[in-house]
Amino acid sequence: MPFRKPDDEGARPTDVTETLVARGTAGAVAVAWDADQAVTALYSANYRSLVRLAAMLVRDAGTAEEVVQDAFVAMHGGWRRLRDPDKALSYLRQSVVNRSRSVLRHRAVVEKYAPKGLPDAPSAEAGAIGELERSAVVKALHKLPNRQREALVLRYYADLSEAEIAHAMGISRGAVKSHTARGMAALRNVLEQFS
Amino acid sequence: MTTDPHEEHGEVLRRALNAEADTVIPSVDGLDQIRARIEQRRQRRFGWAWFTAGWARPILAVGAAVAIAGVGVSAPQTFNLISPAGNKGPSADQHHQPGDGSVEGQQGRPDGTQPGSPPGSSPSGSVSPSQSPVTISSSPSPSCTAAPAKHDGGSPSKTTTAPSPGATVPGTAGQPCPTPSTPTTPPTTPPPTDKPSDKPTENPGDPTPSVTPSAGSSASSETKSDSGTSTTP
């Protein structure tokens, strides 16, 4: 899994980042240098997973990349305020979630006043069963409210715990449970078809 | 357990989400784009763009206005600080009284108490404000404070009571310093001093009556007679 189990390639850059952050507290001169290096390390370890997470939320790969890049830039700007190295990825994740919300909010306003376009054409592999499952589930997922979708994506794609989801979404753990349960209840009809 | 159906649906959802996520392939130059944005942000924050930003323009305009106002306010004082030093050279040559305002004010005060002495400044009220900043600027001569005794002794302040109290304090501070030099420098003073020499000699070291005749030879006798009348009571 991208976030929780970086067994193959995620372990090394994470350690590097931690050491970089630990060295970043040594001096003011090294802070700027470590910010660049930490961005590089976090990029190599988590950029793809963060982009995919954002893509799950905003349903657009290009916008997801912009969201994640903005999150990296913001993290670089606030690097001196990051004391705990473990907070770097958490900060990025929270920033991605918040920025995805902003994108969706802006998109909702734009789509409200923009003319309706043609529906997306089915892809070439639309006939495959996995694709049916994927498209059906994702379509149903995107019909959910934003908070429920965020909770489900963070829970079942990013494999975060309830505490981590609560921190990323800025809500309580009880609210996370509520959003997750309601989202799963809404998706139950679709999910039962493929279970 | 009750979580079995939930986890079963969760597995389906997880599988679908991973399949959907695998279709998203980030661009290769993401790191370059991030670095470019960071560099842009640095330039926007610390570069020339910071000064040309929209919110900075009113601040710069207000700051420039304050700076210009400060220069404008401090300019007269600066000129007054500079002018005594710059005008003493030419004033020492010929223009002893009308040349520079500072020396004129200092000498003109004892003479100026007599109405005819200030040639440039017709009313005494207009002279006093012009002299007051000059005397303030010429304040570096605090050793001249001993002179007020002479000025009081001269008692011309009785004639011009209104300007003298306000201006005598700064004016008297600057009076005695030029007065020792003034009787020596003007050549015109000796002839009148001969006549009233008796009276000034009664008050030794009082050159102020000797200066007043220098303004006019004909008027000097009148002024001295006035001064003599004023001093005699």
Q: By the CB < 8 Å criterion, does A60 face chain B? A: no
Q: Which residue has the higher pLDDT, B223 or A132?
A: A132
B22 contacts in chain A (CB < 8 Å): 52
Average pLDDT value for residue range B115-137: 44
The pLDDT assigned to A138 comes to 86
The pLDDT assigned to A119 comes to 55
The pLDDT assigned to B66 comes to 92
From the list B21, B25, B38, the residue facing A76 with the nearest CB is B38
Lowest mean pLDDT among A110-124, A135-149, B18-32: A110-124
A156 contacts in chain B (CB < 8 Å): 10, 13-14, 17
Do the Cβ atoms of B138 and B168 come closer than 8 Å? Answer: no
B13 contacts in chain A (CB < 8 Å): 137, 141, 152, 156, 184, 187, 191
User: What's the pLDDT tens digit per position in B55-77?
Assistant: 777 888 899 999 998 888 887 77
Give the start-end residues of each E strand in A35-126: none
User: What's the pLDDT tens digit per position in B183-228?
Assistant: 444 554 455 544 444 444 444 444 444 444 444 444 444 444 444 4
Q: How far is B57 from chain A (nearest CA, A)?
A: 25
The whole-angstrom separation of Cα B179 and Cα B200 is: 13
Structure tokens belonging to residue A80? 């001196």
User: What's the pLDDT tens digit per position in A76-107?
Assistant: 888 888 767 678 888 999 999 999 999 988 88
Average pLDDT value for residue range B130-152: 44
B35 contacts in chain A (CB < 8 Å): 36, 39
The pLDDT assigned to A165 comes to 94
Please list, in sequence order, all residues whose beta carbon lies within 8 angstroms of the beta carbon of residue A49, skipping any fewer than 6 positions away.
A2, A3, A158
The whole-angstrom separation of Cα B204 and Cα A76 is: 85
The whole-angstrom separation of Cα B66 and Cα A1 is: 62
Position A161 confidence tier, pLDDT thresholds 50, 70, 90: very high
Residue with tokens 């000025």: B151
What is the reported pTM? 0.49
Domains belonging to chain A, first-starting first, are 1-117 (no CATH), 123-195 (1.10.10.10)
Burial B161-189 (b: 16+ CB within 10 A, else e): eebbeebbebbbbbbbbbbeebbeeeebb
Q: By the CB < 8 Å criterion, does A75 face chain B? A: no
Q: By the CB < 8 Å criterion, does A137 face chain B? A: yes
DSSP secondary structure letters along A139-176: HHHHTS-HHHHHHHHHHHTS---HHHHHHHHTS-HHHH
Q: Which residue has the higher pLDDT, A189 or A122?
A: A189
**Which B positions 20-59 lie with beta carbon below 8 A of chain A?**
20-22, 24-27, 30-31, 33-35, 37-38, 41
The pLDDT assigned to B5 comes to 60
Q: By the CB < 8 Å criterion, does B17 face chain A? A: yes
Do the Cβ atoms of A45 and A17 come closer than 8 Å? Answer: yes
B12 contacts in chain A (CB < 8 Å): 133, 137, 191, 194-195
Burial of B29 by CB count in 10 Å (0-12 exposed, 13-18 middle, 19+ buried)? exposed
For residue B69, the one-letter residue type is A
Report the candidate in A92, A102, A87 with the shortest Cα–Cα distance to residue A158. A92
The whole-angstrom separation of Cα B72 and Cα B125 is: 25
The pLDDT assigned to A149 comes to 92
Q: By the CB < 8 Å criterion, does B10 face chain A? A: yes
Lowest mean pLDDT among A67-76, A128-137, B87-96: B87-96
Please list, in sequence order, all residues whose beta carbon lies within 8 angstroms of the beta carbon of residue B19, skipping any fewer than 6 positions away.
A130, A131, A133, A134
0.85 surpassed by complex ipTM = no
What's the Cα-to-Cα distance from A14 to each of A71, A123, A164, B63, B147, rounded to whole Å? 18, 37, 18, 49, 86
User: What's the pLDDT tens digit per position in A19-62?
Assistant: 333 333 333 334 445 788 888 889 998 999 999 999 999 888 89
The pLDDT assigned to B222 comes to 43
Q: By the CB < 8 Å criterion, does A4 face chain B? A: no
The pLDDT assigned to B173 comes to 44
The pLDDT assigned to A139 comes to 87
DSSP secondary structure letters along A52-68: HHHHHHHS-HHHHHHHH
Burial A23-62 (b: 16+ CB within 10 A, else e): ebeeeeeeeeebbebbbbbbbbbbbbbbbbbbbbbbbebe
Give yes or no for residue B82 having a pLDDT over 50: yes
Average pLDDT value for residue range B17-41: 89
Residue with tokens 């305020």: A81
Q: By the CB < 8 Å criterion, does B12 face chain A? A: yes
Cβ-based neighbour number of residue A110 at 10 Å = 9
CB contact under 8 A, B37 and A187: no
Q: How far is A139 from chain B (nearest CA, A)?
A: 11
